[in-house]
C-alpha cells in the first residue's frame, strides 16, 4: 500500500469517528506529498527525519508533526501495513513556549488609525471600515479570527447585543454578548455594510468585501501585516513571530482577568465563565491565554496580600 493511500485511509477513519483532525490531516498530507509516490513499507527513517526537521530553527511544530506521525504509524503497524515505525528514537527538547504579544492601548489606537489609509482608495475591494471593524471585534470580544470572519448578517443581533458563533473549533455553537460601545460601533459598520451586495441574503458575510463576498483569512492577515508596519507595531524581543491578529484573543483574556482582580471578584469562580465565553472545551484551554504581565502580576499579588492579611487576623 502506498504512503498516500494509507494517510488517506487514516484521516478518513479519524474523521468518521467524529474528530475534526484538520491539523493532523494537513501534516500527514504534506508528509505524503514530500515523500512522493512511495510504498509505505519503503519509507526510510532519514526521509522522516528530514520532514520533521523542515527548514529553519526548531519550533514546537516539530513535536506537533512527530505526534501526528506517531499516531499514523501506530495505526499502520497495528493493521500490518508496516512492520515498524521509521520515527526517530531521540526527541529534541521542546523549545520555550511561544509568548503572545499583548498590544498596549496606544498600539491599538495606532492600528485603528492606520486603517484610515485604506480609505484613500475609495473603490478598493476591501473597505477600510471592514478592516477597522474586524480589529474592534477581535479586541472587544476575544473571538478567534475564523469565528469573526464566519459571522453572517443573521449572526449579528444588534438589538440584543449578541453574536451567534456557530459550530466553532469544538463543534459548539455559543452566544457572545457584547457591550454597548462595541454594539454601537458594530451598528455603524452595519450601516456601511448595507451598501454592499448580499449574495446569499442574511447568510451573507457580515465582514465583507465591497462585492459582498466574505473577507478571507489570508487577506485579513496580509492586510494586518501592512497595518502593523504602518502603525510601527513590532516585537523587539527576538521572538520568531511578529504580532498577529490572534494575539488580540490573548489580550482580551488578560484584560478580563486583570479587571476581575482589580474589582475584587472571585477569579477562580469566574474562570469557567471566561472559558465558556471564549469557546474553550475546558479551563486548560483558557489558562494558556493568561500570560503573566506586570499589571496582572501586581493585581494578583495585591489580592494575595489582602488574603494573607485577613488570615493573620484569625
**Catalytic site residues?**
144, 169, 246, 249, 280, 289
Reading the block at residue 171, the C-alpha cell is 463543534
- CA-nearest of 141, 142, 102, 138 to 293 is 102
Nearest 10 degrees: Cα torsion 22, 27, 32, 34: 140
- CA-nearest of 253, 266, 237 to 296 is 253
Contact 263, 280 (CB under 8 A): no
Residue 57 phi/psi, 5-degree rounding, is -80, 165
- CA-nearest of 268, 294, 266, 303 to 283 is 268
CB neighbourhood size of 166 (10 A): 13
d(C-alpha 9, C-alpha 25), whole Å: 11
d(C-alpha 148, C-alpha 165), whole Å: 8
d(C-alpha 157, C-alpha 177), whole Å: 10
d(C-alpha 142, C-alpha 223), whole Å: 19
Contact 26, 66 (CB under 8 A): no
245-277 burial, b at 16+ Cβ within 10 Å, e below that, comes to bebbbbbbbbbbbbebbeeeeebeeebeebbeb
Amino acid at each position: 500500500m502506498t504512503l498516500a493511500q494509507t494517510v488517506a485511509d487514516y484521516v478518513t477513519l479519524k474523521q468518521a469517528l467524529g474528530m475534526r483532525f484538520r491539523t493532523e490531516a494537513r501534516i500527514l498530507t504534506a508528509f505524503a506529498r514530500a515523500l512522493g509516490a512511495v510504498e509505505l513499507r519503503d519509507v526510510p527513517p532519514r526521509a522522516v527525519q528530514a520532514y520533521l526537521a523542515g527548514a529553519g530553527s526548531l519550533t514546537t511544530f516539530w513535536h506537533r508533526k512527530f505526534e501526528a506521525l506517531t499516531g499514523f504509524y501506530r495505526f499502520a503497524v497495528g493493521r500490518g501495513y508496516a512492520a515498524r515505525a521509521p520515527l526517530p528514537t531521540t526527541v529534541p527538547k521542546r523549545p520555550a513556549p511561544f509568548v503572545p504579544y499583548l498590544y498596549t492601548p496606544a498600539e491599538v489606537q495606532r492600528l485603528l488609525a492606520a486603517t484610515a489609509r485604506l480609505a484613500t482608495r475609495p473603490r478598493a475591494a476591501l473597505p477600510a471600515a471592514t478592516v477597522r471593524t474586524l480589529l474592534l471585534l477581535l479586541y472587544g470580544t476575544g473571538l478567534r479570527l475564523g469565528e469573526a470572519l464566519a459571522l453572517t448578517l443573521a449572526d449579528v443581533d444588534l438589538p440584543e447585543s449578541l453574536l451567534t458563533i456557530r459550530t466553532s473549533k469544538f463543534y459548539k455553537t455559543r452566544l457572545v454578548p457584547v457591550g454597548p460601545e462595541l454594539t454601537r460601533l458594530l451598528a455603524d459598520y452595519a450601516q456601511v455594510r448595507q451598501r454592499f451586495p448580499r449574495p446569499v441574503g442574511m447568510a451573507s458575510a457580515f465582514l465583507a468585501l465591497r462585492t459582498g463576498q466574505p473577507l478571507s483569512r489570508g487577506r485579513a492577515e496580509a492586510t494586518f501585516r501592512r497595518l502593523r508596519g504602518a502603525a510601527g507595531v513590532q516585537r523587539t524581543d527576538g521572538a520568531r513571530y511578529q504580532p498577529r491578529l490572534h494575539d488580540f484573543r490573548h489580550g482580551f483574556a488578560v484584560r478580563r482577568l486583570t479587571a476581575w482582580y482589580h474589582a475584587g471578584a472571585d477569579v477562580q469562580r469566574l474562570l469557567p465563565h471566561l472559558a465558556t465565553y471564549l469557546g474553550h472545551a475546558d479551563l486548560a484551554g483558557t489558562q494558556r491565554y493568561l500570560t503573566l504581565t506586570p499589571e496582572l502580576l501586581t493585581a494578583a499579588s495585591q489580592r494575595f496580600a489582602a488574603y494573607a492579611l485577613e488570615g493573620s487576623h484569625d
